[in-house]
Amino acid sequence: MSINFEKAFGIHEAALNLRNSRAEVLATNLANSDTPNYKARDIDFTQALKMAQSGQNSDLKRTHVKHLDSQIGSEIPGLSYRIPLQPDTGDGNSVDVQVEQAKFAENAMQYQTTLRFLDGKIKGLIQAIRGE
């Protein structure tokens, strides 16, 4: 009898890929905090995960890390511009460093949580295979 990893891990593989993509988007926002006319972006995680569950986006797995930079809007479901919480400072940049840092830290914590859940699943599968 073979193990179906899609059934064993469920949506958590897609969630991990989305969390990774969101970390890249938030890091890009932070890196461009002083770039004139740069608009902050974020991923609506709930919407993107629903799209992944329904099979509307099969491009959650990227073949190369740099693909995010060149096609940022076409490969990531739920990606949109963030609505600024403060008025424009005059240079057209909508990045609020404190907001981006908080979102990045929150996403990192949720990424770790997903990894721990998958680790538990894998350990359970190993125990089942060994008959423990």
| Residue 56 reports pLDDT greater than 60 | no
The residue ranges of every structural domain in the chain are 5-130
CA distances, 52 to each of 58, 81, 95, 106, 109 (Å): 7, 20, 28, 21, 21
Q: What is the pTM of this model?
A: 0.77
Distance CA 29, CA 114 (A): 23
pLDDT of residue 41: 95
Contact 84, 95 (CB under 8 A): no
Distance CA 80, CA 87 (A): 19
What is the average per-residue pLDDT within 86-99? 87
